[in-house]
Structure 1
């Protein structure tokens, strides 16, 4: 059966609305219970009520709760203080959410152990009449902490506690004025809707959604507590509708969308100056992505310090961070360093390998062997993220890999997810949550750079990068998706074609990469497969099949029989599959790769002609086309291919010199022609930023919540696949 590649790529897995967090827009959260799980669902309006469920139908036995706790509790820091030491410092509802459900935590992380003991003074509301000694505990914080160290909980607990104390102080003020209980309740409701408790700015939509979900879980036992999520990619009209109707206890936003609301929405303008706390999460990433001016513009609309309390969390404290800190933080702020001076970078602790393939034909088989290797070395726990340079390549390869899952050890139990900028924000949120909660033991997420920064996926055992990333910093961020947690092991693999090796040589000089050949990986995978075929039970201990009571439960399934035989059938099955791939999908992927790699020519230390030939060879070698697609001279010129080595090689003819047709023409003929041609050419080049923006990351990119992989939006079909009557010559490339 031959099907269009895009039809396959767009077919996503069926998602259950009862099992995912839906935080794709500003909305009120309603909490409900389902069998064996507790989920938070984002309702469509701000007036949704908690559903009235039959307690008997959804009751959870105590032993089941114990089982879930043992299977979902993250790795603990046994040398750190317990959360129970905060019992007198935070509200009982917050303590219950942390220690009982939904978090079920026992020990703090190092970041939490430094920040949370500052409570309750850290969360005290602003009092202009307080003495310096009384106001000393309410301070601004600059925290240097790495990603994946529990800092989200470290700033959400003070945010929630500060909001509760603020509302309680207002309630006491009304009581002192002898306001009746009914009027007092009405005034408190109005106050909660008219004032912002905490504004949290996050660099990406995915990270903002993740923070909003964590805030909802932490406020699980607080009645009527609401979280607003304002990010790009979601309906602004719906966000404003829920903003008007609901409370603003915590607002989580991306800088671009928040600045847009502050500048253009009166409802936001009227209350932004009531914000009591500002939190900048991943501040270094915010600076790297060009949000500095946006943040400064937002800070100018907020109350001044010390009326506004500010927390900044950053993995590094660069000059840009210090400059923003001078603007946003109080001069008497406290600096907390949770990164020891002699601590090695996080990525240096993760085993990292790079493979330079001999030819493009080995690319897809090598990726499949890496997946099989992870499933065999982490039986029942495999969870992989595969990063691709462009959206088109993500779509193409996710479809190919999904259809090749039958040869993998997990076979039909392998679950492939796909996330990139072409998907709607709601779809990306569902996919992210499904992958995050997947416990099948064979989960694979095919992603572009939308998942590279800050997003936490628990239990990721391996990160595979196909092709070069946008830069060395993106490489480090991608690797940081695995090995998260003090007891978590991970691995990273980089798969390159021969002409991409310059990136390792010149850009990753400080990365401890080990070489791994395709032959070595094949040998390792076959040895593991044969070992499994001899003794399958040794790969799946009883702990993966049964709970503490000896009952079987839904989880990782044993591998299919004769794993080695399935892997040996890979070449023939892949050849049959590539015959069914839509050639237009390959052509469009080629165009996106050319647009991505051409600006990388200086970093790779290769000429653009080498990149072009490498990408064209990829279409025949890796994707099975009979001949590479034709690329017109017009596209090559727009991509900067006019380097004097094509049609006019060896000539120094000016590009736009007007020529007089004969010496008999007046001397003024032709004047202005050059300028008109230049203007026409400039008009043709206006769209070039769309081709270049993915490769020139961080230079000319827009800062309005733009994803990092949108180079594919350009319609390339007018340049690729055309049939020309003239003979193609080698000097065109």
Structure 2
């Protein structure tokens, strides 16, 4: 595997984990946490008198918060077991047919089972292996690992985790290894129920998070990543700003090597771009692939698992390229050689900002992290006050039109024509989804943005829709608008009722003026 020396987290946890002690390990992403728990766990199961029967018992159970991370852990386990004949690894997660998982379990119970909580809980409740319930098989498992435990809790998996652990041997008869970047109070509570009192705690972050119960991330996290931020001048220029920033990242440091071939822009940089929602990822991926002619990969939870595995693998192996993604790529997933992480929009939390940042600056390499916010999101900078994220003057100049970019203006005219006039089905449909997701996501962030009225958010969303090329804001189904508390504030599907509705639609394309598209909130307020 090319590993000759242990990393800090590996060296500090190996003896305790190999001897059978329970371990809580804290380390930053990209520091070798996967090998830190897999290596001693596998060695202990295979080389000690743990009672493990290969092919009949699961020796090591690893619970992961995401499918991508589970797949990556499974691959690492397979490499570690390469020369142990008769050993196997199986990865199970939702979004695939459970019958396939059961068939593989029936063929041979794996030495290492890596699972996401939902699918594992389903298997424990329903699967029969060799005439007995799978829960009976797992009741003999001697080692359990919870990876990215804080994220498991963030995603609401506490109940599932406790239910799963109840099927395993009692905590005094099994070994439990917890690995987590932060240690919130909720995790401390779970530890009391699931770990031996004499567990070993190893802290390779040293930010006070292990002691204060809050698990705060360090201002020194990712010291190899140069972080900076820029603000988009106005919501109406959101889409053009995304184009400008991504093109700037492609040129950054390799201006003489960024090329255009067959009308498509190529770069030597390896860039991960985060958006707040899956549907925003879809829209911007379609925009770049179809209009900007800048090839990007698209990865988010709305894609099938087979697609996600393929794209994730392709980007992992690529020397350069651009990946547009949601938070499915925020934690644990290793993409070697990433030079830039660009985050558009306010992340779900301060910690999530840092975890996203961890896709670059890995294994001691340098990287850049750009945070790009809309004017309505600037309050998030207060949450980062203990982290050095200075204003990026060069990027700010690019966004303020200080740097000439006639090409982007022409692309925006093409986009407006495709969405607003010709009704390009791909762009229009993904744009409608992005608008709806924009509303849904930022409704949940209003307190953090210090926004009191939903009307203000609707105005911003309508400006965003105009920036995507819509002549008038997309509609929402009444039940969706009701759930969001937006009935009376937005246009409802099949109805003239709502903010921005007119008694009759424009009778011709000529009536759909650019003025309406650039200032929809003013137009809508006047009509109401």
TM-score range, shorter chain: 0.7 to 0.9
**How far does residue 419 in structure 1 lie from its aligned partner after superposition?**
0.8
For the residues of structure 2 that align with 1:279 and 1:629, how far apart are their CA atoms? 46
The TM-score, its normalising length taken from structure 2, stands at 0.80
Match of 2:299 among 402, 406, 419: 419
For the residues of structure 2 that align with 1:141 and 1:109, how far apart are their CA atoms? 17
SS at match of 1:469: coil
Q: Runs of 5+ in structure 2 lacking a partner?
A: 209-217, 255-266, 506-522
**How far does residue 105 in structure 1 lie from its aligned partner after superposition?**
2.2
- In structure 2, the CA distance between the partners of 1:634 and 1:291, relative to structure 1 (3 Å rule), is closer
**How far does residue 435 in structure 1 lie from its aligned partner after superposition?**
0.7
Partner of 2:409: 571
**How far does residue 348 in structure 1 lie from its aligned partner after superposition?**
6.5
Query: Does residue 214 of the first structure (1) align with residue 94 of the second (2)?
Result: no
**How far does residue 236 in structure 1 lie from its aligned partner after superposition?**
0.6
Partner of 2:328: 450
Q: Is the 8 A contact 2:496 2:502 kept in 1?
A: no
- In structure 2, the CA distance between the partners of 1:613 and 1:204, relative to structure 1 (3 Å rule), is same
SS at match of 2:84: coil
Query: Does residue 204 of the first structure (1) align with residue 86 of the second (2)?
Result: no
**How far does residue 432 in structure 1 lie from its aligned partner after superposition?**
0.8
- In structure 2, the CA distance between the partners of 1:233 and 1:165, relative to structure 1 (3 Å rule), is same
Q: Runs of 5+ in structure 1 lacking a partner?
A: 1-102, 124-136, 171-187, 407-413, 528-563, 648-715
- In structure 2, the CA distance between the partners of 1:344 and 1:636, relative to structure 1 (3 Å rule), is closer
For the residues of structure 2 that align with 1:310 and 1:638, how far apart are their CA atoms? 41
Query: Does residue 403 of the first structure (1) align with residue 283 of the second (2)?
Result: no
Q: C-alpha deviations, 1:83-116, integer Å up to 9, x for none? A: xxxxxxxxxxxxxxxxxxxx21222211112233
Match of 1:296 among 134, 145, 162: 162
SS at match of 2:342: strand
Q: Is the 8 A contact 1:356 1:517 kept in 2?
A: no
- In structure 2, the CA distance between the partners of 1:362 and 1:299, relative to structure 1 (3 Å rule), is same
**How far does residue 279 in structure 1 lie from its aligned partner after superposition?**
0.9
Partner of 1:108: 6
- In structure 2, the CA distance between the partners of 1:729 and 1:301, relative to structure 1 (3 Å rule), is closer
**How far does residue 273 in structure 1 lie from its aligned partner after superposition?**
0.8
Query: Does residue 624 of the first structure (1) align with residue 492 of the second (2)?
Result: no
- In structure 2, the CA distance between the partners of 1:273 and 1:399, relative to structure 1 (3 Å rule), is same
Q: C-alpha deviations, 1:57-81, integer Å up to 9, x for none? A: xxxxxxxxxxxxxxxxxxxxxxxxx
Q: Is the 8 A contact 1:274 1:302 kept in 2?
A: yes
Partner of 1:65: none
Q: Is the 8 A contact 1:202 1:253 kept in 2?
A: yes
Query: Does residue 250 of the first structure (1) align with residue 112 of the second (2)?
Result: yes
Residues 664-675 of structure 1 aligned to structure 2 (within 5 Å): none
Q: C-alpha deviations, 1:244-285, integer Å up to 9, x for none? A: 112320000112221221122233122011101111111222
SS at match of 2:390: strand
Partner of 2:122: 260
Partner of 1:657: none
Partner of 2:201: 335
Partner of 2:458: 612
- In structure 2, the CA distance between the partners of 1:313 and 1:523, relative to structure 1 (3 Å rule), is closer
Partner of 2:503: 725
Query: Highest Rg: 1 or 2?
Result: 1
Partner of 1:357: 232
**How far does residue 335 in structure 1 lie from its aligned partner after superposition?**
2.0
**How far does residue 721 in structure 1 lie from its aligned partner after superposition?**
12
The TM-score, its normalising length taken from structure 1, stands at 0.59
Partner of 2:214: none
Match of 1:494 among 347, 371, 384: 371
**How far does residue 431 in structure 1 lie from its aligned partner after superposition?**
0.9
- In structure 2, the CA distance between the partners of 1:523 and 1:449, relative to structure 1 (3 Å rule), is closer
Residues 650-665 of structure 1 aligned to structure 2 (within 5 Å): none
**How far does residue 614 in structure 1 lie from its aligned partner after superposition?**
1.2
- In structure 2, the CA distance between the partners of 1:234 and 1:634, relative to structure 1 (3 Å rule), is closer
**How far does residue 572 in structure 1 lie from its aligned partner after superposition?**
1.5
Q: Is the 8 A contact 1:141 1:333 kept in 2?
A: yes
For the residues of structure 2 that align with 1:721 and 1:397, how far apart are their CA atoms? 30
**How far does residue 445 in structure 1 lie from its aligned partner after superposition?**
0.7
For the residues of structure 1 that align with 2:147 and 2:476, how far apart are their CA atoms? 44
Q: C-alpha deviations, 1:286-315, integer Å up to 9, x for none? A: 222222222222222111244312211122
For the residues of structure 2 that align with 1:519 and 1:211, how far apart are their CA atoms? 37
Residues 8-19 of structure 1 aligned to structure 2 (within 5 Å): none
Q: Is the 8 A contact 1:202 1:252 kept in 2?
A: yes
For the residues of structure 2 that align with 1:588 and 1:720, how far apart are their CA atoms? 20
- In structure 2, the CA distance between the partners of 1:309 and 1:637, relative to structure 1 (3 Å rule), is closer
Partner of 2:443: 598
For the residues of structure 2 that align with 1:402 and 1:480, how far apart are their CA atoms? 26
- In structure 2, the CA distance between the partners of 1:289 and 1:253, relative to structure 1 (3 Å rule), is same
